[in-house]
Amino acid sequence: MPIDPCCLADYEALAQELLDAGPHGYFAGGAGDERTLRANVAAWGEHRLLPRVLVDVHDVSTATTVLGTPVSMPVLVAPVALQKMAHPDGEAGMARAAAAAGTIMTLSTIATSTPSEVATGAPADAPRWFQVYVLSDRGVTRTLVEEAEACGFTALVLTVDAPRAGRRECDLRTGFAVPEGIDMPAVTSATGGSAGITPAGFFSLMDTTLSWDDLETFVADSPLPVLVKGIHHPADARKAVERGVAGVVVSNHGGRQLDNVPATADMLGPVVDAVAGAAEILVDGGIRRGTDVCAALALGARAVLVGRPALWGLTAGGEAGALQVLKLLQAELELAMTLLGCARVEDITADRLA
Ligand SMILES: Cc1cc2nc3c(=O)[nH]c(=O)nc-3n(C[C@H](O)[C@H](O)[C@H](O)COP(=O)(O)O)c2cc1C
Ligand SMILES: CC(C)CC(=O)C(=O)O
């Protein structure tokens, strides 16, 4: 790496230097005018933190649990497609980095590795989640989910905010298509090949009829806990909980789907209130600092996920780079907790918001 990155933005700059315009635009870009993409980052900064002093902070721990699973910190790796396009280490490298950091990695349906390749390429006992896109060819989805269950993934994350791709103008400008040699097994199973496919191409595989009844059946049939990802409206969070989900991920897909929706920092509180403790609430979008993690927890999230930051680390240094990013966020979180007067994650409550 050309410089010693000292914050996540440094990794972002490194990733931009290393990637061609097409892949960079796909990874970095958002929908439309990218208002929501920018708002996601900015809005965490609007929730100001209010320290309490003279608290014993000689021994601060970022450890917590998510759905009962112990993790080193309330920061998980979000599902991100096409990771071998960032670095040959791909999803297995990301899974090893998450395991080394003591946290959970979520594997995308549109990954460049199968669930079993990831499971064999990373420590067997590390917790991993599998993100589910329901494709029109439901047999492809079922086979992938069964493979993930068989090789030890511990939860399913059903993404519900992406029946089509948002209007991603970076991809239109660069004419982005998946480069030769990058295979997505799910796409290949559904179509016979994945060379040269565009974002519109892979989104055309989605089952756009997906409904609340499907969610109910999916949860009832799943041997694993199910989280639903892409919830914006508090009433939808309640409906998901009524159908038995174990967790709700407040997410606008990193500003990549419908532009002009609120920042996730602003959607979180109403969802927390609506769910009232009946399921764990996670949030993603724009988390770039340990202080952002503190704000999310103070607003009632159990944990956050990071998408692009982990990808910048992977781009910059493969598995080692992704691990550095996760460790950096953990160190920032530990420092923020110390200065906020919170020795334990459960001490980060609404009382610490200005
Ligand atoms: C390049 C890229 C690919 C993504 N692929 C998926 C995916 O396959 N499945 C999914 O549920 N979300 C996907 N997401 C959304 C992320 O899981 C997450 O919601 C988002 O990145 C969070 O915002 P952040 O990047 O600001 O952390 C993707 C995001 C990016 C940036
Ligand atoms: C391959 C896509 C379906 C992945 C995705 O969710 C995205 O690009 O945001």
Query: Tens digit of pLDDT for each residue in 195-243?
Result: 899 999 999 999 999 999 999 999 999 999 999 999 999 999 999 999 9
Q: Is the pLDDT of residue 1 over 50?
A: no
Active site amino acids: 253
Residue 324 near ligand 1, beta carbon < 6 Å: no
- Output 342-347 pairs: Cβ under 8 A, ≥24 positions apart: 342/55, 342/57, 342/60, 342/294, 343/55, 343/56, 343/57, 343/59, 343/60, 343/61, 344/60, 344/61, 345/61, 345/62, 345/63, 345/64, 345/74, 345/297, 346/64
Query: Tens digit of pLDDT for each residue in 243-275?
Result: 999 999 999 999 999 999 999 999 999 999 999
- 326 C-alpha to center of ligand 1: Å? 16
Please tell me the number of the ligand nearest to residue 86's CA. Answer: 1
Task: Look at ligand 1, atom 8, and give the residue with the nearest C-alpha.
Answer: 81
What pLDDT, on the 0 to 100 scale, is given for residue 3?
A: 55
Provide the residue range defining the domain that includes 83: 8-344
Give me the mean pLDDT over the 80-93 stretch. Answer: 98
- 333 C-alpha to center of ligand 2: Å? 28
Task: Look at ligand 2, atom 3, and give the residue with the nearest C-alpha.
Answer: 203
- 81 C-alpha to center of ligand 2: Å? 6
Q: Name the residue of 256, 258, 314 whose CB sits within 8 Å of the most ligand 1 atoms, as the mutation to test its pocket.
A: 256
Residue 19 near ligand 1, beta carbon < 6 Å: no
CATH number of the domain that 226 lies in?
3.20.20.70
Mean pLDDT of the residues in the chain: 97
Q: Name the residue of 253, 325, 329 whose CB sits within 8 Å of the most ligand 1 atoms, as the mutation to test its pocket.
A: 253
Task: Look at ligand 1, atom 5, and give the residue with the nearest C-alpha.
Answer: 80
Query: Tens digit of pLDDT for each residue in 332-343?
Result: 999 999 999 999
CB 234 within 8 A of CB 272: no
Q: What is the DSSP string of 302-342?
A: SEEEESHHHHHHHHHHHHHHHHHHHHHHHHHHHHHHHHHT-
In a domain, 127, yes or no: yes
ipTM of model over 0.90 = yes
Higher-confidence position of 135 and 194: 135
- 165 C-alpha to center of ligand 2: Å? 7
Write the single-letter amino acid at 213.
D
- List residues near ligand 2 (CB under 6 A): 81, 110, 162, 199, 202-203, 253, 256
- 56 C-alpha to center of ligand 1: Å? 38
CB 102 within 8 A of CB 329: no
CB 15 within 8 A of CB 309: no
- HSE of 352 in the Cβ direction (CA atoms, 13 Å)? 29
- 133 C-alpha to center of ligand 1: Å? 12
Alpha-carbon Rg for the chain, nearest whole angstrom, is 19
CA angle 196, 202, 205 (to 5 degrees): 135
Q: Name the residue of 34, 113, 133 whose CB sits within 8 Å of the most ligand 2 atoms, as the mutation to test its pocket.
A: 133
CB 106 within 8 A of CB 134: no
CB atoms inside a 10 Å sphere around CB 257: 23
Q: Is the pLDDT of residue 112 over 90?
A: yes
d(CA 125, CA 148): 14
Q: Is the pLDDT of residue 160 over 80?
A: yes
d(CA 182, CA 177): 11
What pLDDT, on the 0 to 100 scale, is given for residue 342?
A: 98
Domain count across the chain = 1
Q: How far is CA 7 from the centre of its chain?
A: 19
State the pLDDT confidence band at 193, using cuts at 50, 70 and 90.
confident
**Helical pair 264-275 and 290-298, crossing angle rounded to 10 deg:** 30
Burial class for 88, CB neighbours closer than 10 Å (0-12, 13-18, 19+) = exposed
Lowest mean pLDDT among 1-15, 67-81, 103-117, 197-211: 1-15
In a domain, 218, yes or no: yes
Q: Is the pLDDT of residue 2 over 60?
A: no
Q: Two tokens at 274?
A: 């609506």
Q: Two tokens at 33?
A: 């005018």
Task: Look at ligand 1, atom 10, and give the residue with the nearest C-alpha.
Answer: 79
Query: Tens digit of pLDDT for each residue in 272-328?
Result: 999 999 999 999 999 999 999 999 999 999 999 999 999 999 999 999 999 999 999
Percent of the chain with pLDDT over 90: 95
In a domain, 15, yes or no: yes
Q: Two tokens at 302?
A: 């159990």
What pLDDT, on the 0 to 100 scale, is given for residue 225?
A: 98
Q: Is the pLDDT of residue 119 over 70?
A: yes
Q: Which atom of ligand 2 is nearest to the CA of 206?
A: 3
